[in-house]
Structures are given as structure tokens and as C-alpha cells.
Amino acid sequence: MTVDKLDAALHAVNWTGDVETFLNEIASKEKLAAYNLRLAIWSKQFEQVDRGNAALTFVREMQSAGQMIVALTALALYKPAAGSIRTVIETALYYTYFRTHHTELATLLRDEEYFIDKNDIIEFHKRHGVNFKILQEKVGLLNRLKTSYSSLSAIIHGQIPGVWTTLTSLSKTAPNHKTLEKVVRSFAEGEEVVHRLFLCTVAQSFWDDFSPDAKKALHKGLPGDTKALLTLDE
């Protein structure tokens, strides 16, 4: 593609119109806002109770990725939104690990060859998390995490051609209601995974210092027996 053709393709897209179309998708818009709100509640509590922890960078990246999902979806850039949904999950995982592993975090920033993947973090929680195995089984965390992560990775890496891709050229970028619904469902699942991850890990350490309003919001929708097992008062 020449520069002239690139310019023409970008000018051909009605970006403003695409955003307006998204804003008229009331149900989808409200759901995406709700998912980001709960991420924001978690983020604010961590910023307050874990102040000064360098690992909070991951929390900020998580919240930023959640907002980017909305921006990309509004512009009908659905497939890139899958990458941001996976980023929400990955950064949440990294925070649950690196918040207590400062030496490893320093190595991560210094050494390009150092790497820790999600399976390493999960194994850490299994081995060292208080009641993690019981709690995650109760809320179905690991099964949902595996399913959601694998599905997003397949989309991102093009393992299932055509998924979340409805355009044949850049100039034809335009809203697609069915694909929008897929994005919303995927973000719903990804955000739910993060919510349950936090409930089973870091919430166990910080809950007493969370605000009453935050506790109430984060408890919403949890069955009574799950609340009792988590031992997180409202």
C-alpha cells in the first residue's frame, strides 16, 4: 500500500459515524461501562491500600486496557480489542504475583530474557495461596481463566481465520452488530475472570482496608455460600 492509498483508505472510513453508531448501541455500551467500573473499583482500592508498590503499574495497565477495549470497539476495530481483553487478564495476574515479588519485578524491568507466564503464577497461588485451591474451585476460576485465555489467544493469533474480522479492506471499516456482541461477551467473561482472581488472591490480604462502598460493589451478585467461603465481610 502506498502512502497515497493509505491516506485515501483512512479518509474513506466514517470514524465519527462509527462512534455514533456504537453510542446508540445502548445495551452494549452500558455493559462495557459496567465492566470497566468494576475494574476501576478494584484499581482504586489497590492504589489506596497498596500505595507505593511498584507492581501497581500492572493495575494501571489493566485499567487502561479496559478503557481501550471501549475505544477500539467504538471504532469498529474489533479484533484489536481481543488483545486488550487478554491484556486485562494478564496484567491482573502479574499484579497478584509481582506485588510480593519485588526482586523478580526489578529483574523483569532489567533483564529482557527474564519471563514468567500465567501458568507459573497459577502454580504460585496453588502452592502458597491460603485456601486458594478451595476458593478457586468454588468460583470456577481456573477453568474459566483457561477457557477465556485460550479463546482470546486463538482470535489474536489468527488460529481461527475470520473470527472478529468482518472487513475486507481498511477503507471498509464499519460497525457490525453481531461482532460487537461477541466483543461484549468476551470482555464480560474476561472481567469476570479478573474479579474472581482478585477475590481468591489479593482480596484475602487487603479486604479489611477496602471502603464499605467498594466491598458492597464487589460483593454484588455473589451467592451467599460463596461469600461465606471467601470470608470477606460486606
**Hey, what amino acid is at 114?**
Y
Q: Is the torsion defined by CA of 198, 200, 205, 209 positive or negative? A: positive
Contact call for residues 91 and 61 (beta carbons, < 8 A): yes
- The domain of 82 spans 3-230
Query: If we measure between CA atoms, which residue out of 183, 67, 49, 203 comes closest to residue 125?
Result: 203
Structural domain tally of the chain? 1
Contact call for residues 50 and 210 (beta carbons, < 8 A): no
Q: What is the pTM of this model?
A: 0.94
Confidence at residue 157, expressed as pLDDT on a 0 to 100 scale: 87
Half-sphere exposure of 232 (CA within 13 A, CB side): 28
Helix axes 78-98, 141-156, angle to 10 degrees: 140
Digits of tens for pLDDT over the chain (234 positions)?
Answer: 799 999 999 999 999 999 999 999 999 999 999 999 999 999 999 999 999 999 999 999 999 999 999 999 999 999 999 999 999 999 999 999 999 999 999 999 899 889 899 999 999 999 998 889 999 999 999 999 999 999 999 998 877 777 787 777 889 899 999 999 999 999 999 999 999 999 999 998 899 999 999 999 999 888 888 888 888 877
